[in-house]
A and B are shown apart, each in its own frame.
Chain A
């Protein structure tokens, strides 16, 4: 077992969200601030207790939008001893490591997402979105004139990887379909979900082809939204009037394959495999101890690969495993007959929140007051968020 001195020493004590909507006509910062204010109120703390902020974005020190510097100023927080931006799975991991290491005692994590001009025609016509995108740091040597750079930080290779998956393991897209249908079944239970209507397996297969073989039902739904968490030490958490949710263990997962996604490292050596094995090396818990599962579903391919990396089934075996896990009376997955998956509706139905929706949903489930989608008695959640190439986090939260 690997060293894990932070075991159960860091806790989530505040959870706050903004509304989710296709066009809320608000800035990214505004959405982040609403989530932040709600999380601070939920924790029952004075905002001046916050001394560290993890803002939103893939450029860790970028200014503007819902970056940490803008958040601190806009929230009127006088002193912070730690700040950084993060996105996808890494944002929570960065924040927890900052609290654990003593760089700060009460950290605010804010992840805001907006429908960017590249995501839809309506968004591209919105001059506010266009201008925001023009000035956003894109953090690298992306695309533009050279076709050979088209797959740098691109979604398209996930479609090629999906085809390679079906080829290498001799399967069709049934596992992808079940994952998508599962999220839409939960979306119907989540009043904030962008997609409130359920999807059938037939609907999935009939959905529009975007990047063959990836269909629109394989892709998360772009929306305007924000989530925020307040994270502090377990010791401080005991003094607050909330039920804490503890960070049991976590790991990130880098590989030698960087931003040129055509160099995909294969099924055994990708970042999901590294982060999940790193997590299990740091915990005495095993899958039978896990009550809830949140595999990031930016694309269905991500969630399939994370499920396999977590060890629920072997690599390439998700199709058979999902078939034996399918509850056809509710159109949901119940892994090993017991573990629900993406209970908020995930990115595919709740909305594209970069995985922050999964951290928030897991924490709310573990508090245990989530109304008609509460999973009774849930005590632990396994969360995997990120991509085959960057920011893959594997995290276990416990009540």
Chain B
């Protein structure tokens, strides 16, 4: 199966600010792969999606699939939505997941398969995928 072209990426994410620096990331999500930019010269992982390596100023930046291993750096449970007319029947968990590839490299995501009261700082997590309104998104679950 060929990779979706740019028009297909734009069509799949009409509600996302797609640009030249992040389109490869979203193309990866469509194919079930979590891609983060990595410098080909010094190996530094770069997030958010930027075309220049902040460690060595190289432009040789390549979207690269991550291992999916990580840990829970910090999280909050959203009890109140911005619009009280759409009440939250259960709180939304938003979590900064520190990816195993590099200290401080974090991806904001959901944690599934774990009740909120069992969450712990720095607990090991691994990548999984969830479906939401017809699209697949990265999520994380307890590892081991």
Judged by a CB distance under 8 angstroms, whether B138 is at the interface is: yes
B83/A147 in contact, CB under 8 A: no
Q: Within the assembled complex, what's the spacing in Å between the Cα atoms of A375 and B121?
A: 43
A145/B13 in contact, CB under 8 A: yes
Q: Within the assembled complex, what's the spacing in Å between the Cα atoms of A167 and B123?
A: 13
Residues of B within 8 A of A209 (CB): 79
B76/A160 in contact, CB under 8 A: yes
Q: Within the assembled complex, what's the spacing in Å between the Cα atoms of A150 and B107?
A: 11
Residues of B within 8 A of A164 (CB): 73-74, 121
Judged by a CB distance under 8 angstroms, whether A8 is at the interface is: no
* A:208-231 near B, CB below 8 Å: 208-214
A264/B74 in contact, CB under 8 A: yes
Residues of B within 8 A of A161 (CB): 74
Residue of B nearest to A259 (CB): B48
A210/B80 in contact, CB under 8 A: yes
> A254 to chain B: closest CB distance in Å?
13
Judged by a CB distance under 8 angstroms, whether A124 is at the interface is: yes
Q: Within the assembled complex, what's the spacing in Å between the Cα atoms of A263 and B108?
A: 9
> A136 to chain B: closest CB distance in Å?
16
| Chain A at the B interface: SS class | mixed
> B120 to chain A: closest CB distance in Å?
9
Q: Within the assembled complex, what's the spacing in Å between the Cα atoms of A213 and B75?
A: 9
Judged by a CB distance under 8 angstroms, whether B40 is at the interface is: no
Judged by a CB distance under 8 angstroms, whether A141 is at the interface is: yes
* A:44-102 near B, CB below 8 Å: none
Residues of A within 8 A of B13 (CB): 145-146
Residues of B within 8 A of A368 (CB): none
With A144-B15, A160-B75, A209-B79 as contacts: A149 and B108 at CB distance below 8 Å: yes
Residues of B within 8 A of A263 (CB): 47, 104-106
Residues of B within 8 A of A210 (CB): 78-80
Residues of B within 8 A of A124 (CB): 83
Residues of A within 8 A of B16 (CB): 144-146, 149
Q: Mark A255-270, 1 if CB is under 8 A from B, else 0.
A: 0101110111100000
B47/A212 in contact, CB under 8 A: no
Judged by a CB distance under 8 angstroms, whether A363 is at the interface is: no
> A298 to chain B: closest CB distance in Å?
16
* B:66-112 near A, CB below 8 Å: 73-80, 82-85, 91, 94-96, 104-110
Judged by a CB distance under 8 angstroms, whether B113 is at the interface is: no
> A125 to chain B: closest CB distance in Å?
9
Residue of A nearest to B80 (CB): A210
With A121-B84, A160-B94, A163-B75 as contacts: A147 and B15 at CB distance below 8 Å: no
Q: Mark B17-33, 1 if CB is under 8 A from A, else 0.
A: 10100000000000000
B94/A121 in contact, CB under 8 A: no
A160/B82 in contact, CB under 8 A: no
Q: Within the assembled complex, what's the spacing in Å between the Cα atoms of A55 and B16?
A: 30
With A144-B15, A161-B74, A163-B74 as contacts: A262 and B106 at CB distance below 8 Å: yes
Residues of A within 8 A of B80 (CB): 208, 210-211
B94/A141 in contact, CB under 8 A: no
Q: Within the assembled complex, what's the spacing in Å between the Cα atoms of A264 and B82?
A: 23
Q: Within the assembled complex, what's the spacing in Å between the Cα atoms of A127 and B109?
A: 33
Judged by a CB distance under 8 angstroms, whether B137 is at the interface is: yes
Judged by a CB distance under 8 angstroms, whether B134 is at the interface is: no
B78/A211 in contact, CB under 8 A: yes
The 8 closest A-B pairs by CB, nearest first: A145-B15, A262-B96, A159-B76, A160-B74, A212-B77, A262-B106, A160-B76, A164-B74
Can you report 7 A-B residue pairs in the complex whose CB atoms are below 8 A from each other?
A121-B83, A141-B19, A145-B14, A150-B94, A157-B76, A210-B80, A258-B48
Binding site for B on A (CB under 8 A): 118, 121, 124, 141, 144-151, 156-157, 159-161, 163-164, 167, 208-214, 256, 258-260, 262-265
